[in-house]
A and B are shown apart, each in its own frame.
Chain A
């Protein structure tokens, strides 16, 4: 049984005179894996950051279980603890070890006990294959490992939705593989995810909904087999043909 989790209503975002997003509208149900694709500068990342309120939308709304989180009286921190985010540049806390990175949110935000937080963190670190590295500092591990820890950190908060902002763009091909493998597992387990990515094969195989963005608007969206198999719009065709050749 699916339920509406997240809805983006007529969202626009401008930076000064620069219009980055124009009237963006889409929805996410539980268990959906939504991939947002498109050229650089098409507003994908900004859209994701608006969903997590790291950027404040200029107009429009984002509702989470019918609650408009752009409204002023909503506790944004509380909302963010239910919607995790994984960044392109990992953003692990460099003053903490791998384990502490995964525990601090649980202890400070969810107010769990140290032992409980640790147990939970270990469970997710094991899942992403980073359990042996719990004593390492972020500067001591590789990019792919950092990203897997970042995923474990987000998962440890047990979010309803997990947002990925180009999680593999800063990694070499081998590391891309290890991070995508973790994300595939999560998708199979039914975690609701919104993923901004340039990995077209991944988007085609893993997602059940693809959103193609161009110039700040949603140009085309639908099931992956439709978007990749029979794109309707000229821009989509052009974008995908370039990707599929390369």
Chain B
């Protein structure tokens, strides 16, 4: 083993480079899938929580809605209010002890990260929906859209744009926080690093590599998401259109639907 710092780094990379890559891949897969499923859960919960109760609704609908909202509130509060590491232990070992379910490492990891992200995203989505000007809802209702049509076509696309920074935040938090899953034996980047460090007794060097790898992962993700945000905003300018083909000068646009032209 080399005696200088950089030498040891290269030595570790040479011997365990593949393990590090595999660990980083596991981390990314868990973070990405967990964030994705978490977002879906968050959207569903957030949408249900913002269903308005209207005067003409019957008592059955009111009671059902009240119960569903209560259950979802309990879910959000419990998973937001307890550490993910404790949840991991509780769910992984609890499912075994209580129901005899032997969760696979992958399933446990996805489950815990998703359900956690879902709890945070639910509040984010709720905030995103509430942040949209009520005029948008009224405009949609006034042309005869139902609540669902209004949500799908008008409110959610705008809410999604507004909460994109928060989704990015959650993804980055998940990339970092998957390391708590090491406690239930998920072989991700932290677990791998710990193993390598222990095997060679090179804690500083191994974790230097892990730090760089974590940072590269999170930084890349945040830049990619920023790019998507820009794309969602669309172009800053627009083209004028004209029916008069003789007046087809710069800055003017021809009539037909661009989507139809592509077909």
Contact A91 B144 (CB under 8 A): no
A173 CB within 8 Å of chain B: no
Complex CA distance for A109 and B143, rounded to whole angstroms: 8
Q: Which of B126-162 contact A (CB under 8 A)?
A: 133, 135-136, 138-146, 149, 153-154, 157-158, 161
Question: Given A133-B238, A140-B238, do A93 and B139 touch, yes or no (CB 8 Å)?
Answer: yes
Contact A133 B138 (CB under 8 A): no
Q: Which of A1-9, A15-23, A74-82, A200-208 contacts B (4 or more CB under 8 A)?
A: A74-82
The number of residues on chain A lying at the interface, defined by a beta carbon within 8 Å of a beta carbon of chain B, is 40
- Identify the closest chain A residue to B139 (Cβ): A91
Q: Which of A117-141 contact B (CB under 8 A)?
A: 118, 131-137, 140
Complex CA distance for A105 and B139, rounded to whole angstroms: 10
Instruction: List the interface of chain B (C-beta within 8 A of A).
Output: 54-56, 58, 133, 135-136, 138-146, 149, 153-154, 157-158, 161, 234, 237-243, 252-253, 257, 259-260
Chain B residues with CB below 8 A from A148, complex form: none
- Identify the closest chain A residue to B156 (Cβ): A95
Contact B56 A133 (CB under 8 A): no
Complex CA distance for A89 and B237, rounded to whole angstroms: 23
Give chain B's interface secondary structure class: mixed
Complex CA distance for A104 and B241, rounded to whole angstroms: 20
Partner of B138, one of A54, A115, A132: A54
Contact B241 A132 (CB under 8 A): yes
Contact A105 B241 (CB under 8 A): no
Chain B residues with CB below 8 A from A80, complex form: 141-144
Closest 7 pairs (CB-CB, A-B): A81-B144, A91-B139, A105-B143, A85-B142, A91-B135, A136-B238, A109-B144
Partner of B145, one of A90, A109, A118: A109
19 further A-B contacts with Cβ under 8 Å, apart from A87-B142, A94-B158, are A54-B142, A77-B141, A77-B144, A77-B145, A81-B144, A82-B144, A89-B135, A91-B138, A91-B142, A94-B136, A95-B154, A97-B238, A104-B154, A105-B145, A114-B257, A114-B259, A115-B260, A132-B252, A134-B241
